[in-house]
Structures are given as C-alpha cells and as structure tokens.
Amino acid sequence: MTAWRLALLVRNHAYRRRASRAELDTALAAAALDLRVEVYFLGRSLLQLAARRDPAPALLPAGCRGWSALPDLAEVEIFAERGWLQRCSDEGIDLLLPVQALGPTEMAERWRACDRALLL
C-alpha cells in the first residue's frame, strides 16, 4: 500500500508567533505516522529554514535545527515560492534542507494532488 501524501502549507514565520514550533511539530508528527510529507513554505515562512538563525525564539533546543531531522524520519519534499528562494540566495541565507522552487500555479497543482492538506 502506498503511503498517503500529506501537504503541509506553512505560511507563518516561526520566530514571530506565540506557538512558534507548531509547524515543525506537525511535520514531525506526520513523519512519525509514515506519511509522505510535502512541505510548502509560503512567502517569508521559508525563513524557518535559515541555518544561522538563533533557534531559541522558536523554542528549539540550543544547537538543534529541527527541520533538518525531517528527511531522516519520512519521505519528504520541501517546496518554496521561487521568488523567496531567490531572495534567500541573493542575501546569502543558507537553508537547512534542499528546497525546490515552484511558481504559485505549480505549487497549487502539487498540493491539490495530495491526499490531504493542512494549512498551518
């Protein structure tokens, strides 16, 4: 049996919310359930993957980069809007995971093809 594809649409910047780890916790829980996880970072939410950002405001342990553990737990693909990925590249922001660039139409087509989707 093929694993379900779950799309997680991340739209919030982790370092600016009260429940700053909600997106990461949801992704890790989905991975633990052996789902195929597709994470879509919308807009500036991509900055959650910034490798040099201080993890303390996101309630992550010192030295821990939680998103980087995701591929070890499940089959996962990470996507971001092409413009934001280019902006990170232009500003020298290294990301924790390999991210595939998509345009808005491509992104919507991919997540609609998943079995389930959660907007976070």
CATH number at residue 69: 3.40.1260.10
pLDDT of residue 50: 83
Beta strands in 25-99, from DSSP E residues, in sequence order: 36-41, 76-81
From CA 74, how far away is CA 72, in angstroms rounded? 6
- What domain count does the chain have? 1
Q: How far apart are the first and last CA of the chain?
A: 28
pTM for the model: 0.84
Sign of CA dihedral 11, 15, 16, 22: positive
Report residue 101: phi and psi, to 5°: -85, 135
pLDDT score of 64 more than 50: no
- Region 38-59 average pLDDT: 78
Q: What CA–CA distances, in Å, run from 101 to 26, 47, 87, 106?
A: 22, 14, 12, 9
What is the domain extent for residue 41?
Answer: 5-119
Greater confidence (43 vs 53) lies with 43
Which comes out higher in pLDDT, residue 50 or 3?
A: 50
